[in-house]
Amino acid sequence: MAMNHSTPPPAGAAAGTRTKRPLDTVVKMALGVLFGSFALIWGGMFLSRPDRSIPPYSIGSQERTLVAIHVPSWTSDTEIETLIERFRKTGGESRNFGAMKIHPTTPDDPQGRYQHIAIYIFAEEGWTEPEILHQYVTGQDTMVRERFERSVRGFYRLDGQEEEGRLGPILRSQDSAATAAYSRQLFTGSVAGDAKEPAPGSRLGL
């Protein structure tokens, strides 16, 4: 009786294993472009900073006196506070926010080109899009306005000789205590040096 002899597997080949195919050249190029784009964006933000002592940021959009800027998602509250303090320093000294890549907010004001400005800092770039900022300015969509303010990571406002700086979302009276816990006022008062510093850990809702 004839016996069937199965062909033995090639030497060194384990049963059930499959040879891995190398990545296609096009796939490699696509991945390279993707990661390269992220590196260029982050590198551009980092290198374009007016000062290396503040976190990298980019101007997402600006409408009149309102400016929406973007910082990387990993930016800490301490770094955002450093950025806000730099805006405060600029507002109290030269008031030349042009050096921080912000267009004049009051170009026709004889007292200066930056007499009024409100800067919103976000870690999510989508909130800095021109269309979103415009919707916030017009106030036509209440939902967008509320979500916009609750997504803020930092805020600086200069209004003539008055200024304000805060960390976290801009609060409304109906916001819960849990939401308020993420908001902290840093300073408020006169630019001339009479700013009222809140006690450590104090919270303020708008």
Query: In the chain, how many domains are there?
Result: 1
Note whether residue 62 is domain-resident. yes
Task: Give me the sign of the Cα torsion angle 130, 156, 170, 80.
Answer: positive
CA distances from 201 to 73, 147, 186 (A): 24, 24, 10
Taking alpha carbons only, the member of 109, 91, 105, 108 closest to residue 62 is 105
Note whether residue 198 is domain-resident. no
Residue of higher predicted confidence among 176 and 55? 55
* 8 Å CB contact between 86 and 130: no
What pLDDT shows up at residue 140?
82
Note whether residue 6 is domain-resident. no
Residue of higher predicted confidence among 197 and 154? 154
Residue 16, pLDDT above cutoff 90: no
Note whether residue 200 is domain-resident. no
Domain coverage including residue 176: 54-190
What pLDDT shows up at residue 204?
38
- Range 39-59 average pLDDT: 70
Taking alpha carbons only, the member of 122, 133, 119 closest to residue 71 is 122
What pLDDT shows up at residue 34?
76
What pLDDT shows up at residue 200?
44
